[in-house]
C-alpha cells in the first residue's frame, strides 16, 4: 500500500506567504511528485467553529477564499481530493468513539492546546468542543487511514495523540486504524516565516501578513514598511541579516535568477548579504528586490485566482465532488470501525444466531 497524504487548514482567513512557504508550496510539490496512493486536502471548518461558535459567518465566507487560494497556488482537484470537513458526518461519529480511548488529563497536557487556551482567554470558560478538537483531528486523520500528514511543528502534539488513539483502538477492538507520521517542513525558514513587522510569526491577528491574493500595490506598501535592522541607520553602516525580516524573506523566496534579472550587481543572496553586512547597501534597494521577487512568485498565482474567481459556482462543484469522494473513503473505514467494535448489529449474523439460540426452547 502506498502513502495516503492528508492535511488541512482552518478556514478563518485568506492564506498568506507563511502558509505558502510552510505548507502550500510543499503540498503542490507532493501532488506533482505523484508519490502517493491518495492525497486529501481539506478545510477544517468544524475545527474552526470550536473557537468561532458565535461567528459562523466568518467561516462561511472563508471557505471560498481558502479554496481559491488552494487552486490558484496549484492544488489540482484531478490529482488531490479537496473537501470540507463538516460535510463528512463520519468524522463526528469516529470522534465520539475515539473520545472513549483518551483521558482528559492526556489532552490537557497537549502543549499546542495549552498555548491556544491562553491566547484565546479560554482559561475560565473553555468550550468543550475546543478542548476536544485534538480528538476530532485524530478522527480526521484516521478516518482516511492517512500515513503522512504534512504540517508544522505546532501540529506534532496532535499527531502524537492521533498515533496513541490509533494504537489504542487497534489494541482494544482489532487492527483497523493506521498510525500516521508527520511530515515537517524541510528548513528553518519554511517552518516559521516572520511577519512583515519582524515578529516571530506571520499571523492574521497580528496584522503583519502578505496575502497570496494581495495585489502588486499592496505588496509594495507592505514591503516598503517592513522591519529591517534598527541599527542600520546610515547607508555606510554595517547591516545585520539575522533577525532582519527582509533577508529572511529573501532566504525563503529569492533565486539566483532573481538576482540576474533584478540586481545583477550581486550574483546571489550570499553576495548581497556579504555586502550588506559590510555596509554601503541601502534597505530600500533590498526592499525593491524583495518586492520584485515576491511579485514574480505571486503573479501566476494572482492570474490563476482571477480566472477561478470568474466561475465561483464551479469551485463549489469541485468541493462538493471532493467531499463526496472523501465521504466514501471515510464511510469505508467506519464500516470497518463499527464491525471491529461489534456495533454493526444488523450485519452481525453471529449475534442474531446467538440470541436466537439463547431463547430457543
> Could you list the residues that contact ligand TRP (CB under 6 A)?
6-10, 44, 47, 137, 140-141, 149, 151, 155
Minimum Å distance from CB 70 to ligand TRP?
14
Q: How far is the CB of 156 from ligand TRP (least distance, A)?
A: 11
| Cα four-point dihedral sign 97, 98, 101, 106 | negative
CB of 327 to ligand TRP, least distance (A): 16
Contact 214, 298 (CB under 8 A): yes
Residue whose CB is less far from ligand TRP, 6 or 226: 6
Q: How far is the CB of 49 from ligand TRP (least distance, A)?
A: 12
Distance between CA atoms of residues 90 and 116, nearest Å: 26
Q: Which is nearer to ligand TRP, 28 or 281 (CB)?
A: 28
Could you tell me the smallest distance in angstroms from the CB atom of residue 55 to ligand TRP?
A: 17
* CA nearest to 73, candidates 7, 148, 17, 12: 17
Q: Give the SS3 label for residue 3.
A: coil
Closer to ligand TRP by CB, 191 or 221: give it: 191
Nearest alpha-carbon partner for 220 in 298, 304, 305? 298
* Shortest CB 236 distance to ligand TRP, Å: 44
- In terms of CB distance, is 65 or 140 closer to ligand TRP? 140
Are the C-beta atoms of residues 75 and 315 closer than 8 Å to each other?
no
Chain residue whose CB lies nearest ligand TRP? 44
What lies within 8 Å, CB to CB, of 224 at 6+ separation is 284, 287, 291
Cβ atoms 150, 142 nearer than 8 A: no
Sheet bearing 148-150, strands edge to edge = 81-84, 38-43, 4-9, 148-150, 181-183
Given the complex with ligand TRP, which of 24 and 252 has the nearer CB atom?
A: 24
74 vs 152, beta carbon nearer ligand TRP: 152
Amino acid at each position: 500500500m502506498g502513502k495516503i497524504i492528508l492535511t488541512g487548514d482552518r478556514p478563518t482567513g485568506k492564506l498568506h506567504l507563511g502558509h505558502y512557504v510552510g505548507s502550500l508550496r510543499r503540498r503542490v510539490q507532493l501532488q506533482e511528485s505523484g508519490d502517493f496512493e491518495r492525497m486529501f486536502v481539506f478545510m477544517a471548518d468544524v475545527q474552526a467553529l470550536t473557537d468561532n461558535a458565535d461567528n459562523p459567518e466568518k467561516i462561511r465566507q472563508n471557505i471560498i477564499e481558502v479554496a481559491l487560494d488552494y487552486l490558484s497556488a496549484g492544488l489540482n482537484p484531478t490529482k488531490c481530493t479537496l473537501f470540507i470537513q463538516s460535510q463528512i458526518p463520519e468524522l463526528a461519529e469516529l470522534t465520539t468513539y475515539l473520545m472513549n480511548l483518551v483521558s482528559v488529563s492526556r489532552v490537557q497536557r497537549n502543549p499546542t492546546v495549552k498555548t491556544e487556551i491562553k491566547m484565546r482567554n479560554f482559561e475560565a470558560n473553555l468550550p468543550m468542543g475546543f478542548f476536544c478538537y485534538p480528538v476530532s483531528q485524530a478522527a480526521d486523520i484516521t478516518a482516511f487511514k492517512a500515513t503522512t500528514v504534512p504540517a508544522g511543528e505546532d501540529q506534532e502534539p496532535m499527531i502524537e495523540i492521533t498515533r496513541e488513539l490509533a494504537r489504542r483502538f487497534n489494541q482494544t477492538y482489532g487492527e483497523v486504524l493506521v498510525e500516521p507520521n508527520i511530515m515537517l517542513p524541510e528548513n528553518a525558514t519554511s517552518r516559521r516565516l516572520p511577519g512583515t513587522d519582524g515578529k516571530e510569526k506571520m499571523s492574521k491577528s497580528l496584522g503583519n501578513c502578505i496575502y497570496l491574493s494581495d495585489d502588486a500595490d499592496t505588496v509594495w506598501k507592505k514591503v516598503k514598511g517592513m522591519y529591517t535592522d534598527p541599527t542600520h541607520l546610515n547607508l555606510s553602516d554595517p547591516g545585520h541579516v539575522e533577525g532582519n525580516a527582509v533577508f529572511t524573506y529573501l532566504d525563503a523566496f529569492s533565486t539566483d535568477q532573481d538576482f540576474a534579472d533584478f540586481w545583477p550587481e550581486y550574483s546571489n543572496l550570499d553576495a548581497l548579504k556579504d555586502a550588506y553586512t559590510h555596509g554601503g547597501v541601502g534597505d530600500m534597494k533590498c526592499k525593491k528586490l524583495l518586492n520584485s521577487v515576491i511579485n514574480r512568485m505571486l503573479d501566476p498565482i494572482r492570474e490563476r485566482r482571477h480566472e477561478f474567481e470568474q466561475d465561483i459556482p464551479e469551485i463549489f462543484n469541485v468541493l462538493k465532488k471532493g467531499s463526496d469522494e472523501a465521504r466514501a473513503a471515510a464511510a469505508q473505514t467506519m464500516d470497518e470501525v463499527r464491525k471491529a467494535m461489534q456495533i454493526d448489529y444488523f450485519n452481525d449474523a453471529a449475534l442474531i444466531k446467538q440470541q436466537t439460540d439463547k431463547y430457543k426452547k
